[in-house]
């Protein structure tokens, strides 16, 4: 699989040491593959065990989360926080609440986060957390009791200069608010301990929009660099959560027509262009299923099965739901229908086979760790504002976010070129993200 014997051996050790963790293996494989030309130039990374250390989380915290539901029954979930790497700053990364959460998923996300955070150019390390708790169908009071129990344990391990969690799937402003309240109860006021907070208590303007907006800023750079643009392009966006909604808003502002969105049950297709106000009402206000869109627009269509969204003809695809949502078959369908650009809003939404299909067919491909870094970048701007006890205007935050995404595209693109893989943003993002962390680790000695 690898030309380099050292990388081959290391990858086999990762597989053996982390059995039954396919998502983590997949994320490590993708990064190590990109590093072949890097370690030819930098044998010191092998000599000083940098790559061996980078694939091993610094710390894995796993805990019980007991809580009481509305019927008075005790429920027990499992919580995780993986502090992956703090070579360049405090651990930073979201918390995911979804029934599929397990060690493999949190580990892959924490590993990816390390390189993503490095790419932002800001001083933040990599971490990730979550629980197999499912907020869907729970009352506000149940979500609150769960969040309080989760934070009662997590607060022992985090802090504004130690580890700063944020939101992810299933964790939005409501959950962050409840967790922040509990942290404050146990530790006193420390605004910078969580990001994605509400605006009245230390949140940053544009944080809610940041991942989706940032995805479009990055995609715009990629398109323009290749002689294309969002203007009049047809776009398909999977998911209808935080990232998807604001990607839809920005793509539309750029002049594109978004024709489809989804949730884990199915997808809606609206040839007239998605009515985002309707989607926001259904998802942000009512917390209902995307199918409800037909109540607003009976002329739209609904299809069962979220993966069928990739069969819709489009110019640009923005996967914004979850990992491995684009299989080889879905990638082929996109290519066959003339899709020429894919940028990942979700983390690792394309399988390795799907990425190969995009690359072999000349599809411009923006990998997650570069394309969706706008969320964490704006979280870091939230930390900055909390430290300064000051807040920037929407325009100021948005301008900084935009510049960060422009820089990420430029850095990923030039790293790919420097290492002989021009146009390969997967390799470019991995290399640019890796080198900064590797240099920091090297400088700090074997620790």
Q: Which residues would be at the binding site for ligand NDP (CB under 6 A)?
A: 167-170, 211, 239-244, 263-265, 306, 320-322, 325, 345-347, 372, 375
What's the closest the beta carbon of residue 243 comes to ligand NDP, in angstroms?
4
Pick the catalytic residue: 92, 107, 116, 128? Answer: 128
Contact indicator for 321, 349 with CB cutoff of 8 Å = yes
Identify which of residues 51 and 377 has a Cβ nearer to ligand NDP in the complex: 377
What's the closest the beta carbon of residue 345 comes to ligand NDP, in angstroms?
6
Indicate the length of the chain as a whole number: 447
What's the closest the beta carbon of residue 265 comes to ligand NDP, in angstroms?
6
Contact indicator for 317, 349 with CB cutoff of 8 Å = no
Identify whether 128 is a catalytic site residue.
Answer: yes
* In the block, residue with structure tokens 């014997």: 5
Q: Is 153 exposed, middle or buried (0-12, 13-18, 19+ CB in 10 A)?
A: middle
What's the closest the beta carbon of residue 89 comes to ligand NDP, in angstroms?
17
Structure tokens at 159: 């802090």
What's the closest the beta carbon of residue 187 comes to ligand NDP, in angstroms?
24
Identify which of residues 11 and 111 has a Cβ nearer to ligand NDP in the complex: 111
SS3 call for 300: coil
What's the closest the beta carbon of residue 299 comes to ligand NDP, in angstroms?
22
Identify which of residues 35 and 105 has a Cβ nearer to ligand NDP in the complex: 105
Contacts of 126 (CB under 8 A, 6+ apart): 84, 85, 86, 91, 92, 93, 110, 111, 112, 113, 114, 115, 116, 117, 118
Q: Which residue is nearest to ligand NDP (CB)?
A: 241
Strand order in the sheet with 91-97: 59-68, 74-85, 125-131, 91-97, 163-166
Alpha-carbon distance of 320 to 219, in angstroms, equals 13
Q: Shortest CA distance to 202 belongs to which of 179, 178, 177?
A: 177
Structure tokens at 314: 């489009």
Contacts of 297 (CB under 8 A, 6+ apart): 270, 272, 275, 278
What's the closest the beta carbon of residue 214 comes to ligand NDP, in angstroms?
9
What's the closest the beta carbon of residue 278 comes to ligand NDP, in angstroms?
15
What's the closest the beta carbon of residue 254 comes to ligand NDP, in angstroms?
20
Strand order in the sheet with 257-262: 301-304, 266-269, 257-262, 234-238, 316-319, 341-343, 364-366
Number of neighbours of residue 376 by Cβ within 10 angstroms: 27
Identify which of residues 39 and 331 has a Cβ nearer to ligand NDP in the complex: 331
The alpha carbon dihedral of 56, 435, 206, 248 has a sign of: negative
Identify which of residues 430 and 441 has a Cβ nearer to ligand NDP in the complex: 430
* In the block, residue with structure tokens 């259904």: 282
Structure tokens at 10: 């290391």
Contact indicator for 233, 268 with CB cutoff of 8 Å = no
Contact indicator for 63, 129 with CB cutoff of 8 Å = no
Identify which of residues 263 and 382 has a Cβ nearer to ligand NDP in the complex: 263
Contact indicator for 337, 260 with CB cutoff of 8 Å = no
Identify which of residues 211 and 424 has a Cβ nearer to ligand NDP in the complex: 211
The alpha carbon dihedral of 222, 227, 229, 233 has a sign of: negative
Q: Catalytic amino acids?
A: 128
């Amino acid at each position: 699989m690898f030309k380099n014997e050292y990388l081959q051996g290391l990858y086999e050790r990762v597989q053996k040491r982390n059995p039954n963790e396919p998502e983590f293996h997949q994320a490590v494989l993708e990064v190590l593959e990109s590093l072949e030309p890097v370690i030819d130039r930098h044998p010191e990374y092998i000599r000083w065990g940098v790559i061996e250390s980078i694939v091993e989380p610094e710390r894995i915290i796993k805990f019980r989360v007991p809580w009481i539901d509305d019927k008075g029954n005790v429920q027990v979930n499992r919580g995780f926080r993986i502090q992956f790497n703090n070579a360049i700053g405090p651990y930073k990364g979201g918390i995911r609440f979804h029934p599929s959460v397990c060690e493999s998923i949190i580990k892959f996300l924490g590993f990816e986060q390390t390189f993503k955070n490095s790419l932002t150019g800001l001083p933040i390390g990599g971490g990730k957390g979550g629980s197999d708790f499912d907020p869907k169908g729970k009352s506000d009071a149940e979500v609150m009791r769960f969040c309080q129990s989760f934070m009662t344990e997590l607060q022992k391990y985090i802090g504004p200069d130690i580890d700063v969690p944020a939101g992810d799937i299933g964790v939005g402003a409501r959950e962050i608010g409840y967790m922040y309240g509990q942290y404050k109860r146990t530790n006193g006021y420390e605004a910078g301990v969580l990001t994605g907070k509400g605006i009245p208590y230390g949140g940053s303007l544009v944080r809610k929009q940041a991942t989706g907006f940032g995805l479009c800023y990055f995609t715009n750079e990629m398109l323009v660099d290749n002689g294309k643009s969002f203007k009049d392009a047809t776009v398909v966006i999977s998911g209808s959560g935080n990232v998807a909604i604001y990607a839809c808003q920005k793509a539309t502002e750029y002049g594109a027509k978004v024709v489809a969105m989804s949730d884990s049950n199915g997808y809606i297709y609206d040839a007239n262009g998605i009515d985002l106000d309707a989607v926001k009402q259904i998802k942000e206000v009512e917390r209902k299923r995307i199918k409800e869109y037909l109540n607003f627009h009976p002329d739209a269509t609904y299809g069962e099965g979220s993966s069928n969204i990739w069969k819709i003809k489009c110019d640009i695809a923005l996967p914004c739901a979850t990992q491995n949502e684009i299989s080889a078959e879905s990638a082929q369908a996109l290519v066959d229908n003339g899709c020429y650009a894919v940028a990942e809003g979700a983390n690792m939404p394309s399988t390795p086979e799907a990425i190969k299909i995009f690359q072999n067919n000349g599809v411009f491909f923006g990998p997650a760790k570069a394309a969706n870094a706008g969320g964490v970048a704006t979280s870091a701007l939230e930390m900055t504002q909390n430290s300064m006890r000051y807040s920037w205007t929407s325009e100021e935050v948005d301008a900084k976010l935009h510049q960060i995404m422009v820089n990420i595209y430029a850095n990923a693109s030039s790293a790919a070129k420097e290492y002989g893989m021009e146009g390969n943003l997967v390799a470019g993002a991995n290399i640019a993200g890796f080198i900064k962390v590797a240099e920091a680790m090297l400088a700090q000695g074997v620790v």
